[in-house]
Amino acid sequence: MLATIPSPTEGVLWLGPIPLRGYALCILAGVVVATIIAGRRLEARGYARDAAVGVVLWIVPFGIVGGRLYHVITTPQPYFGENGNPVDALKVWQGGLGIWGAVALGALGAWIGARREGVPFAVLADAIAPGLPLAQAIGRFGNYFNNELYGRRTDVPWALEIHQWDSGAGKAVVDSTGQPVVLGTFHPTFLYEALWCLLIAFVIWRISDSGRLRRGQAFGLYVMLYPMGRIIVELMRSDFANRILGLRVNVWVSILVFLLGLGIFLARRKADPDVRLARAGDDSDRGADHGVSTASSDTSETATSDEATATTNDSTD
């Protein structure tokens, strides 16, 4: 049994002159997995699977820009403070993508992509909902490769060994003997958050495919659940962070995002009181978007075909 979890001493693998950064590879892997899941869920609801690829091509650049802006705005000291270097704000590969900025600006990219692909935004948001936390779980291992996002010192059996890190070189600092400098063992908060994201993905997948949610509620559920775990992780972290009234900025943002998610969840139920999120293989979601509601099984058994047709044509979403 391991006494601690070892951390990489290098976060970059070189293929000749080409650097393969662990942080970037984890983000990319998360994007690929989320795209596959979204495509399958769109197809199950009557839309083209390839539409997910078209939308993601908008989400990714918007999300990266938004995530970086949020990080730089909430932690400006390394870039604009004393001895800071503004150029470093552009070095995304060194870490520092704020999830809140990524989701906010990524949502704008998703809206643009959804319009171009002809997919209703609420349907797209629900299709993405379970894949998004799964992508975050995978992406969090990028922090592992950068020896970052760890908590307070601890000696628990799953403690994470952290090295003194040279972010510019993408590797651990070494001492006079050539050995990596170890700072100590800490709570692996990146792993805690990854596990929480996996749980969120499972919960959303199970509930959304049960047919009990209205359109848009699956995404609202994600926006509610993620901040709950993030608050706990933030309170465990020991790295520098700007604070408001004694709490890290991300704690306050998490509280606001939770309230936003709750508002989305309740608003979508009120907006679509009779339209449930389609199960896999059911095209009722698409029918609802074209102003057609599905008649209940009891009605279809008793009504004549002409009456059922008239009823369907007169229904609105």
Distance CA 149, CA 75 (A): 14
Burial of 112 (0-12, 13-18, 19+ CB in 10 A): middle
Q: What are the strands, taking DSSP E only, across 3-131?
A: 12-15, 18-21
Write the CB contacts of 228 (distance below 8 Å, at least 6 apart in sequence).
254, 258
- Tell how far CA 127 is from the center of its chain: 13
Range 2-28 burial, b when 16+ CB lie within 10 A, else e? eebbebbbebbeeeeeeeebbbbbbbb
Record the tokens describing residue 127, joined without a space: 């299709």
With residue 255 as reference, give the H or E element that holds it: helix 249-271
**Residue 41 annotated as binding?**
no
Spatial CB neighbours of 213, under 8 Å, sequence gap ≥ 6: 126, 207, 221, 276, 277
- The length of the chain, given as a count of residues: 317
d(CA 143, CA 230): 15
> Binding site membership: which residues?
140
